[in-house]
Structure 1
Amino acid sequence: MIMSCIVIDDEPHAVDELSELIAQVPSLNLLSTFSDARHAIAYLQETGHVDIIFSDISMAVLNGIDAADIMSNYCHFLVYVTAHREYAPEAFGAKADGYLLKPVTYLSFTQKIEDLGNKFQDIIKLQRDENQFLFIKGGQKSSFIKIKYSDIVYIEAMLNYIMIHTTTGHEITYIGLKAMEDKLQVMDVFFRINKSIIISLNYLDRVDGNIARIANGKSYQIGEKYKSVFLDFLKKHTLKS
């Protein structure tokens, strides 16, 4: 499993040495290097998330500790690489995931990467699990019901609650359809087709004009507000001759 990373250090030789170590570890992919934290933050804000940030601490203008609050939003792991042992309390106060002393040895570096790799696998597993099911509140206090995303056929708004229709039946929970729609945004198979219905494309049988027909025999009108986005998606995924 490959982890992406960047290096931040205002000493060119330190960047070169760490880059050489990274090149010797097959599980790491070095995306870029930076001479100061400001440029690194600008890069992250433009390109998004990386798995590991290796950062020096003592740098001009913006040091690694002061930049931690921002950088930690763009990475899974923040690892400080410094020649100064006395910064350790501040580093871990900034919730650093590692503290490597220069000159960094191959052994200490690979041990740290192995440790982060194990944690990274746990993160990926958790993210994968979160994309497979959700829990809704049941009718009784402290009652929770597990529903697999793959089992949801469609979701129907019913006054101040929703009814989730699945392959095995249905469940009711007191939440608005908009809140449910927001929750389902991470999944690319759910579409709201009118003010009252969200369907799963896994169970969409066909579309006839403004009518969406679900595999269980149900049919629903596609509302004007939602029609263009829904039909554009279907056109992009339509086999062309």
Structure 2
Amino acid sequence: MLKAVLIDDDQSNLSALSEKLRRHCPQIRIIAQCDNGQDGLKAIDSLQPDVVFLDIEMPVMNGFLMLQHLSYKQFALIFVTAYDHYAIKAIRYSALDYLVKPVDIDELKAAVAKAEANRLNQSAESQVQLLLEYVQKKQPRRISIPTFEGLQFIAIDDIIYLEASANYTYIYLSGSLKFLVSRTLKEFEELLPTETFIRIHHAHMINKLFMERYVRGEGGQVVMSNGVVLDVSKRKKAEFLQAISF
């Protein structure tokens, strides 16, 4: 059984989520419902829940600000939010779960099952910290990526290039390391800093700091620091040359 705290300033949303959890997620026991960030902060620190369902946009103290003031952070965090591009980008950056209002029951069940499976996961606090870095600094130097074994925290500056593989992505790092990640290359294109990372082909995105040479051609090719040669597509050539100030 997972102890849960629900935090949302809209009472109708709070009631709807509570009812869906009671009907469809029997492994959840709701121990507190709060309609503002201040009360949510007190409830989490005093009750120490296993999972927190948190709205982002709340008056006085929003969800991100509330997280900055928490003492206790050993819980699974599931955001419940209206669609907001910046907020969801921050959440994806830290690989935390989120549900878009109105909450879909199947997505709710999946998020709760994931929280239950990862209840002893020690990376939750690191994910929250990464999220707060993004919110405060706009561009932290690490990213949390979901792998088949769990979560991997990697330094952005260590990424040489990324390669699409259907709905997955291979990330190639300095030191001859690579990870297969259950995210599309398009998602990484939206997450990683555009001043450093360039999509050169439908299958590849590179970190231009690791680019050693550009070879002219119809689209051309780039030679990366690890010796890998990658094609630049004709469609991406002009954008690529502009990005490297050629």
Normalising to structure 2: TM-score of the pair?
0.45
